[in-house]
């Protein structure tokens, strides 16, 4: 646990009673919390070890938290989204991102489901990856692989929510050892950073366009969840085969890859190849330079003061994203769940369930 307290069965029982007290559940109506109940609870939620991890919470099934940020001097809403990215080693195949939000049906979806809008989208009160969501996702993928007659090896870290089902047929799952992820995990070697850079560059360019359209500086950063998801989808498409192959090589866990995908033309402008410096040809560096250029343009408009400009490291890796799991008090967790319940009950009245509203 983050506070150093071991997660024992007794701790789980005490937490359950604490939440029951907040909800006003009478003693006679409460669960008995027997050892049998506790055992089923642990299996259902994959509670074997509880660990906190850094930016990337898995290897090829990789989780990263993306938020709409409060801009310097601009008050804005923050909507938490968790993204899980999956790709093969040579970059020739990328699954669509697995997106987890708070709202079951955000207002921006206009009464459509994530699937109808072209996304793999799920939700819970904290926009967290959970064992249930992970197993639902990997079981669906396993069925798709069975239909294609394909078998794969999935590398991931030992995040407590990533508990593979026992009945997988075409996916073999291997976990990295604890504390090894950041050293050998390809997503940690630059793939996620490249995705973030592409997203930030597009987001900033969008703000510039809105400013040119006459929208006030206080509103140029406004973006709803669906718009943000579409920008993120474009950013993931921009993470090309060159980026992915380079990051796998950097991880040092595979031999040199030689496949037809290697001849795929990378999405790097030819002008970048004219520079002598190898760093200029690095896709991640190139993406970061796009962010810097977009920031330069934003400063030039006057919408962003130079003194408020964030450095590239702070922009791509904000402190809020340093951990996959959020810390919160029991009261905050309880209130988040109750807000989500109330939002679902009023979903038709409100036209959506943006719980942050």
Inside any domain, residue 130: no
Average of pLDDT values for 264-293? 60
CA angle 340–133–66, rounded 5-degree value: 70
Domain residues for the domain of 16 are: 1-50
Q: Is residue 271 one of the residues assigned to a domain?
A: no
In a domain, 175, yes or no: no
Cβ partners under 8 Å of residue 28, min gap 6? none
Condensed to tens digits (0 to 9), the pLDDT of residues 40-68 reads 777 766 665 444 444 333 334 444 444 44
> pLDDT averaged over the chain?
76
Tally of domains in the chain: 1
Distances (CA, A) of 157 to 15, 49, 184, 309: 27, 12, 10, 35
Distance CA 233, CA 93 (A): 15
Tokens 């709409």 belong to residue: 68
Residues 287-326 pLDDT 10s: 888 888 888 888 888 888 888 888 888 787 776 665 444 4
Distance CA 105, CA 181 (A): 34
Q: Which has the minimum average pLDDT: 94-98, 241-245, 275-279?
A: 275-279
Is 102 inside a domain boundary? no
Distance CA 341, CA 355 (A): 9
Which tokens belong to 226? Answer: 């669906």
Within-domain flag for 26:
yes
Tell whether the model's pLDDT for residue 107 goes beyond 60: yes
- The phi, psi pair for 62, rounded to 5°, reads -115, 130
Q: Please answer whether residues 316 and 5 qualify as being in contact, where contact means their C-beta atoms are separated by less than 8 angstroms.
A: no
For the chain, helix, strand, coil in percent to 5 are: 45, 10, 45
**152 domain residue, yes or no:** no
33, part of any domain: yes
Over residues 141-189, the pLDDT tens digits come to: 999 999 999 999 998 877 788 899 999 999 999 887 776 555 555 555 6
Is residue 29 domain-resident? yes
Per-residue pLDDT reduced to its tens digit, 230-261: 999 999 999 988 888 888 777 777 666 454 44
Dihedral sign from CA coordinates of 119, 124, 126, 129: negative
Q: Rounded mean pLDDT of 17-41?
A: 78
The answer on pLDDT for 134 being more than 60 is yes
- Confidence (pLDDT) at 244: 86
């Amino acid at each position: 646990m983050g506070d150093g307290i071991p997660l024992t069965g007794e701790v789980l029982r005490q937490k359950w009673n604490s939440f029951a007290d907040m909800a006003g559940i009478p003693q006679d109506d409460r669960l008995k919390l027997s050892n049998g109940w506790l055992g089923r609870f642990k299996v259902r939620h994959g509670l074997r070890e509880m660990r906190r991890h850094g930016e990337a919470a898995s290897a090829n099934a990789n989780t990263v938290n993306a938020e709409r940020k409060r801009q310097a001097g601009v008050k804005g809403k923050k909507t938490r989204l968790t993204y899980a990215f999956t790709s093969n080693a040579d970059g020739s195949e990328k699954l669509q991102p697995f997106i987890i939000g708070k709202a079951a049906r955000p207002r921006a979806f206009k009464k459509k489901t994530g699937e109808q809008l072209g996304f793999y989208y799920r939700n819970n009160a904290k926009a967290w990856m959970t064992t249930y969501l992970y197993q639902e996702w990997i079981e669906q993928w396993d069925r798709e692989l069975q239909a294609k007659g394909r078998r794969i090896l999935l590398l991931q870290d030992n995040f407590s929510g990533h508990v593979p089902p026992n009945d997988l047929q075409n996916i073999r799952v291997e976990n990295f050892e604890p504390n090894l992820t950041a050293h050998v995990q390809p997503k940690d070697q630059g793939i996620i950073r490249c995705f973030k850079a592409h997203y930030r560059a597009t987001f900033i360019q969008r703000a510039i366009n809105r400013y040119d359209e006459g929208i006030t500086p206080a509103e140029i950063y406004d973006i709803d969840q669906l718009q943000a998801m579409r920008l993120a989808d474009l950013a993931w498409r921009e993470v090309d085969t060159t980026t992915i192959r380079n990051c796998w090589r950097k991880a040092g866990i595979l031999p040199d890859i030689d496949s037809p995908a290697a001849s795929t033309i990378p999405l790097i402008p030819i002008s970048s190849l004219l520079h002598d410096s190898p760093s200029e040809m690095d896709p991640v560096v190139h993406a970061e330079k796009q962010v810097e250029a977009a920031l330069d343009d934003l400063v030039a408009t006057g919408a962003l003061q130079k003194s408020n400009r964030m450095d590239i490291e702070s922009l791509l890796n904000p402190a809020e994203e340093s951990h996959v799991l959020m810390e919160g008090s029991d009261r905050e967790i309880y209130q988040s769940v109750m807000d989500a319940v109330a939002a679902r009950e009023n979903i038709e009245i409100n036209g959506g369930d943006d719980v942050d509203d």
